[in-house]
Structure 1
Amino acid sequence: MAKYIAQIVILGTQVVGRAFARALRQEFAASQEAARRAGGGQQGASRAAANARSGITLEEAQQILNVDKLDPEQINKSFEHLFNANDKSKGGSFYIQSKIVRAKERLDKEIELQKSDKRPD
């Protein structure tokens, strides 16, 4: 009986170990892909840090606010419209409003990063 229990424990440990190793490889591949998409170097590091702080990627923020370029005027116009359209008193959703706010914060941070990159050192 003890022999069977030991075999079950060993088999279970092997299964969990393989699953953990697979998850680790997938996470590593995802982080490499994210770094590649961010552009690498200092710009990629600052973009990855901004993504981590805001919890939202630049692409996702642009999709939420329905903007295709980082034009502050267009971003503000879209933000105002979507934020007001989703006002809870008008039957909107607080959750959607919070996503809109986070998207604007992320885009504002990206504009700020671009301005600091263009500044001569």
Structure 2
Amino acid sequence: MAGRIIANLVILGSGVLLKAVSQAYRQALVNASNSGVAQETLRNAVQKSSKVMTEHEARLILGVGERSPWEEIVDKYDTLFEKNAKTGSFYLQSKVYQAKERLKAARSSS
């Protein structure tokens, strides 16, 4: 008899706990959407998953500053591309190429 009562209490208690947790989660979602956190989190997730190189990242890869002339960017690109062609690092070569293309696109849009 005592075992049955304890089992009923455990089942009822876990049901109440599950309901409270689900309500708290729903309220947290409402609060996040009201404060704009949900939209910002979603925007960050989309940006990270799109794998588009930022202009800042491209400049870091090529080792150029924001005010570097296009000729310097091309020179850095040529140097890094050739060095990676000799060592056989296709991954680094592709990153260097993507960096140049990203800066080229930024240059033409401004």
Measured against the shorter chain, the TM-score band is: 0.5 to 0.7
Q: CA deviation at 1:4?
A: 3.1
TM-score normalised over the length of structure 2: 0.61
Alignment of 1:74 onto 2:86: no
Provide structure 2 residue ranges, at least 5 long, that are not aligned to the other structure. Answer: 1-9, 44-48
Alignment match, 2:53: 56
Identity of aligned residues (%): 27
Give me the CA root mean square deviation: 3.4
TM-score normalised over the length of structure 1: 0.57
Query: Could you tell me which amino acid in structure 1 is paired with residue 75 of structure 2?
Result: K
Q: CA deviation at 1:70?
A: 4.5
Cα distance between partner residues in 1 of 2:104 and 2:42: 25
- In the TM superposition, structure 1's runs of 4+ consecutive aligned residues that sit over 6 Å from their partners are none
Alignment match, 1:48: none
Query: Could you tell me which amino acid in structure 2 is paired with residue 6 of structure 1?
Result: G
Cα distance between partner residues in 2 of 1:54 and 1:71: 26
Cα 1:99–1:30 change in 2 (3 A) is: same
Larger radius of gyration: 2
Q: CA deviation at 1:61?
A: 0.7
Provide structure 1 residue ranges, at least 5 long, that are not aligned to the other structure. Answer: 32-51, 115-121
Cα distance between partner residues in 2 of 1:110 and 1:74: 15
